[in-house]
Amino acid sequence: MQPTVLVFAGLDPSGGAGIAADLTAIAAQGVHALPVVTALTVQDQNRVYEVVPVDCALLARQAQALIDSVKIGAVKLGIPGNRANAEAIAALIVQLRRRYPQLPVVLDPVLASGHGDALARGDALAALQPLLAAATLVLPNLREAQALGQLACPHVLVTGGHGEGPEVVNRWRSPGHGQEWRWPRLAGQFHGSGCTLAAAIAARLALGESMADALERGQSFTHQTLAQSFAIGAGQRIPQRFPSLL
């Protein structure tokens, strides 16, 4: 049976981030994505102008139909859109874990776009709290890690893409374990790199890989997508996530 990842994320019309990024990154790992849209957005590859959350009851019905009929291998969480959606998603994860106690849940804790544009209605940090409590792995960038503070989830990978210097340093910590990876820093700015990484890791976990292997392979895949990124206009580049073109 084909492994699956249940995805909750926003719709990005540029195709660079959100659901579009998740679908392609997960497919590239040989896994099938089950996309549930949390919010509609007005954005391009550079800026986010508006976020309109999906009704939380509709979101729950979308996911419930899948939960009732499909074996879920992992969950990937992007922006919830608002607190009500986050609470609805958290309740669905509680339900899923009754059936799959070891279900991996990967959270990309996006608080704002790279330009600082809001990605949730209301307080973005407050909206994330129910999801932080449900996550197995959280992947904040350096700025998000500072805003979130000490995270209590089992695994945290702090990504260094927003840092400086010739290398990107990603640091993994979990109880009794720590590891870091160093990747050459690539020129340019990228739209959807965090979504790509979180989705690829979720897919590797759905395949049954260990956390260490999933982190290693997810990062390697993401680095390749950025190294072969392309432009659709001025500004940020789009990761090349289609495996046949890598």
The three-class DSSP label of residue 147 is helix
Q: Quick one: pLDDT at residue 112?
A: 63
Q: How confident is the model at residue 118 (pLDDT cuts 50, 70, 90)?
A: low
Q: How confident is the model at residue 111 (pLDDT cuts 50, 70, 90)?
A: confident
Rg of the chain (C-alpha set):
16
pLDDT tens sequence across 136-157: 999 999 988 888 888 888 999 9
What separation in angstroms does the CA of 137 have from each of 24, 69, 75, 173?
20, 25, 10, 10
Tallying the residues shown for the chain, one arrives at 246
Cut 0.75: pTM above it: yes
Mean pLDDT to the nearest integer, 25-40: 97
Q: How confident is the model at residue 245 (pLDDT cuts 50, 70, 90)?
A: low
How far, in Å, CA of 37 to CA of 67, rounded?
15
Name which CATH class applies to 4-140+188-245.
alpha beta
Q: Quick one: pLDDT at residue 114?
A: 57
Q: How confident is the model at residue 34 (pLDDT cuts 50, 70, 90)?
A: very high
Q: How confident is the model at residue 78 (pLDDT cuts 50, 70, 90)?
A: very high
The three-class DSSP label of residue 24 is helix
Which pairing describes strands 4-11 and 155-158: parallel, antiparallel, or unpaired? unpaired
How far, in Å, CA of 70 to CA of 2, rounded?
10
Q: What is the largest CA-CA distance in the chain?
A: 48
Q: Quick one: pLDDT at residue 120?
A: 59
How far, in Å, CA of 184 to CA of 132, rounded?
30
Q: Where are the domains of the chain?
A: 4-140+188-245
